[in-house]
């Protein structure tokens, strides 16, 4: 007997707007801890539409996640992915990663890189599931030298 297919809620991905920051910023510290950005950092990032794509995810009309990717020539870099705590484990992070990779591909990137804390197992699993492979460690990348980053890579050149 086969398992019933999991029900997948419709998740809408759209470009982030300045007004979204009112909803996102209250969660910033909880989501990103020592890597939290200021409102001004987001404003500056959103202004650079030439290289950067910031997206948000909505479920049932409610903002539930965000992400950003920087594409310079053939290399893209995922800068951030976050899903609001009440909306986790519903596949929203996975949809956001797919959408960021799709933007990088549209911008003709041949690879996508990212750094993730070695102690962030949830994010590592998310990226692994999206096809990223570990490339190496950047020692002491986080928390003033205390926490290493795992660098992960997804090649896009072969399709």
Catalog residues that contact ligand COA under the rule CB under 6 A.
Answer: 31-32, 80-83, 88-94, 116, 120-123, 125-126, 129
108 or 128, CB closer to ligand COA? 128
Concatenate the DSSP letters of all residues of 42-96 into one string.
HHHHHH-TTTEEEEEEEETTEEEEEEEEEEETTEEEEEEEEE-GGGTTSSHHHHH
Please say which residue, 90 or 105, places its beta carbon nearer to ligand COA: 90
Residue 108 CB, shortest distance to ligand COA, in Å, is 24
Q: Nearest-CB residue to ligand COA?
A: 93
Minimal CA–CA distance to 116: which of 90, 86, 81, 89?
A: 81
CB of 28 to ligand COA, least distance (A): 10
Question: What's the first-to-final CA gap in the chain, in angstroms?
Answer: 35
For the CB of residue 57, give the shortest distance to ligand COA in the complex, in Å: 8
Q: With respect to ligand COA, which residue has the nearer C-beta, 77 or 80?
A: 80
Query: What burial class does residue 17 get, using C-beta atoms within 10 Å of its C-beta: 0-12 exposed, 13-18 middle, 19+ buried?
Result: exposed
CB 118 within 8 A of CB 147: yes
Cβ nearer to ligand COA, comparing 108 with 134 = 134
- Minimum distance, C-beta of residue 10 to ligand COA, in the bound complex (Å): 15
16 is written with which tokens?
Answer: 């982030």
């Amino acid at each position: 007997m086969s398992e019933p297919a999991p029900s997948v809620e419709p998740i809408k991905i759209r470009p982030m707007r300045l007004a979204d920051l009112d909803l996102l910023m209250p969660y910033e510290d909880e989501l990103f801890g020592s890597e939290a950005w200021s409102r001004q950092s987001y404003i500056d990032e959103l202004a650079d539409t030439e290289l950067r794509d910031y997206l948000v995810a909505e479920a049932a009309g409610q903002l539930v996640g965000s992400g950003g990717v920087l594409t310079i020539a053939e290399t893209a870099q995922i800068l951030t992915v976050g899903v609001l705590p009440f909306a986790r484990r519903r596949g929203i992070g996975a949809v956001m990663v797919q959408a960021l990779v799709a933007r990088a591909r549209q911008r003709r990137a041949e690879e996508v890189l990212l750094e993730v804390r070695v102690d962030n197992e949830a994010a590592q699993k998310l990226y692994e599931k999206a096809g990223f492979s570990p490339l190496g460690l950047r020692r002491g990348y986080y928390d003033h030298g205390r926490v290493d980053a795992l660098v992960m890579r997804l090649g896009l050149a072969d399709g």
